[in-house]
Amino acid sequence: MSSLSASGARIQGDDYQHLFAWFQALRAAKLESDITEIGIEDPSAGNVDDVTVYRSRERNEFFQIKYSVDARQLLNISWLISPSKAGGPSIIQCFYDSWRTLTYNGQRPKLGLITSRLVDPSDPVITLREGRDGTVSTRLSQHGPRSKAGRARKDLASHIKIGESELLDFLGDLHFKAGVLYEDLQYQASILMSSLGLFNDSAAVKIGVTTVRGWVTCGRRKLTIQEIKDEIASLCIQKDEPAAILLVQALDRDIMPENANIAIDWVDLFEGEEPRTRRQLRDNKLWNSKLRPEIQGATQKIRAQGYRRVLVRGYMRLPTWFTIGVEFGKTAGFEVLSLHGNQNWASDGDELKLPLAITREETLGEGNELAIGASLSTDLTEDVIVYLTSNVPKVGKYIYIAPVAGPSNNAIRSTAEARGWALNFRNLVRDFASRHQSKKIHLFLATPAGAALLLGHRWDRMPDTQLYEDQGISCGYQASFFIPN
């Protein structure tokens, strides 16, 4: 049995901190960023000095990074109030002292604890974290003095030697980000690197970590935004035009929504307590009265920021990916991309033709509306027809379009093939709808997310289109976004 040495643990912890610092440097380099300086082991930040972010419009941010080599050590109040190994102040006391010191002219700092530790499920305070920002103050204030959380609140205030009211003010500015793994930070950095037009594979991310380590060993404790941009340019890893990041949180929230230009949060609008069960809105009218207008609002904001390319990411089902592609369409002057494994599936570039055919055609009634099954891995016809027969009587025809070589999980192997598939699929549907004078399309998707995005991006000069959410095995479908044309 082998165990990690103390020096090995320190090296892992340094890598974790340097990767987080690289992530913040990438945030600073974005076109619209208001970040003016980044600090690493910042001498002017008091006890919260691991990584600091100075901003011209928003509040300054001060992060303490706590890495754990395994999952045995949990994030809880007991750990936060423990004295340091040298018998000094506890972590929470250090945060409070910095909060007092860094508050200036009524401007309070934004403090963050970034840790790989998981939350202790039995802790009465940390389990009250808000899903949106990781603070505990709001929910902690709602518990009575005799409750477990209320008693913990009193003990915590006593430990810091402040009143409970001031404790809640302080905790309102302290954000707990727990369970953040090294690979999570690596993925978030990769997203930002892609949005900046940089190579974003693991080798490129490692170059960034090494660069930060070089800053630390050379004593560069603070870097201005121009110094950061010059450093990134010197790495010679630029390959594309920068892109805005649109993050849509429908099924689950992202651990770092701050890396997006626009972050949309719909999680609480869905029924279900975990991502895989969130398939239906609590109010189905919101698809087109709230969700689609918010996507349209994002197009206006991103255009105003000066971007032409948009990197789309988030936890959402296929109709949302398709609708984003529509709103950020090619005819509107945008290009879109998404991360697909180690590839960027982008709408701009050469197309590699992927032969498609209408492999099934079913007559369902006398109506002139058209239903389409779009699947790259398996034939979804039987489930769709059962649903249409019972719920959409105006559909006259159903067609299923698949690769000529047959459906498979590896039907699309590259971004060029993904572009070719989207264009060929659109043209097949456009031609069929024109010949049959179809006034409305009902579209059922079973494709990779990036393929749905690219298809929506090219969905111009088409009939009105109704999209559907898959409700799960034997549960049918639910109408979602409606795209007028």
For the cut 70, the answer to whether the pLDDT of residue 3 exceeds it is no
Consecutive H or E run containing 58: none
Pick from 253, 325, 318, 265: which is nearest to 294 by CA?
265
Distance, CA of 315 to CA of 248 (rounded, Å): 7
Question: In the prediction, which pLDDT does 2 show?
Answer: 55
Kindly state the average pLDDT of the residues 260-266: 96
> What confidence category does residue 227 fall into, taking pLDDT thresholds of 50, 70 and 90?
very high
pLDDT digit string, tens, across residues 69-94: 887 889 999 999 999 888 899 999 99
For the cut 60, the answer to whether the pLDDT of residue 1 exceeds it is no
Record the tokens describing residue 6, joined without a space: 């103390």
pLDDT digit string, tens, across residues 117-164: 999 999 999 999 998 899 999 999 999 999 999 999 999 999 999 999
Instruction: Give the global pTM.
Output: 0.88
Kindly state the average pLDDT of the residues 328-342: 92
CATH class of 356-483: alpha beta
Consecutive H or E run containing 314: strand 309-315
Beta bridge partners of 175: 112
Name, of 194-198, 272-276, 320-324, 474-478, the range with top average pLDDT. Answer: 320-324
For the cut 80, the answer to whether the pLDDT of residue 38 exceeds it is yes
Helix axes 91-102, 164-171, angle to 10 degrees: 80
In the 8-state DSSP scheme, what is residue 359? E
> What confidence category does residue 245 fall into, taking pLDDT thresholds of 50, 70 and 90?
very high
Question: In the prediction, which pLDDT does 427 show?
Answer: 95
> What confidence category does residue 105 fall into, taking pLDDT thresholds of 50, 70 and 90?
confident
Helix axes 91-102, 148-160, angle to 10 degrees: 70
For the cut 80, the answer to whether the pLDDT of residue 261 exceeds it is yes
Sole residue written with tokens 């993925």: 187
> Contact, 249 vs 265, CB < 8 A?
yes
E-strand spans in 387-458? 395-403, 440-446
For the cut 50, the answer to whether the pLDDT of residue 102 exceeds it is yes
For the cut 50, the answer to whether the pLDDT of residue 384 exceeds it is yes
Distance, CA of 421 to CA of 417 (rounded, Å): 6
pLDDT cut 70: percent of the chain above it: 99
Quote the longest CA-to-CA distance of the chain: 82
Q: Where are the domains of the chain?
A: 6-177, 244-345, 356-483
Record the tokens describing residue 218, joined without a space: 């050379």
Pick from 21, 24, 67: which is nearest to 40 by CA?
21
Report, in this order, helix, strand and coil percent for the chain, each rounded to 5: 40, 25, 40
Number of CB atoms found within 10 A of residue 355's CB: 10
Mean predicted lDDT score pLDDT of the chain: 93
Sheet with 356-363, edge to edge strand ranges: 356-363, 395-403, 369-375, 440-446, 464-470, 477-483
> Contact, 228 vs 38, CB < 8 A?
yes
pLDDT digit string, tens, across residues 357-375: 999 999 998 888 999 999 8
E-strand spans in 107-219? 110-115, 118-119, 174-177
CA dihedral sign, ordered 198, 244, 129, 153: positive
pLDDT digit string, tens, across residues 152-193: 999 999 999 999 999 999 999 999 999 999 999 999 999 999
For the cut 80, the answer to whether the pLDDT of residue 249 exceeds it is yes
Question: In the prediction, which pLDDT does 10 show?
Answer: 85
Q: When comparing pLDDT for 354 and 483, which is higher?
A: 483
Q: When comparing pLDDT for 19 and 368, which is higher?
A: 19
Distance, CA of 137 to CA of 157 (rounded, Å): 12
E-strand spans in 41-84? 51-55, 61-66, 74-75
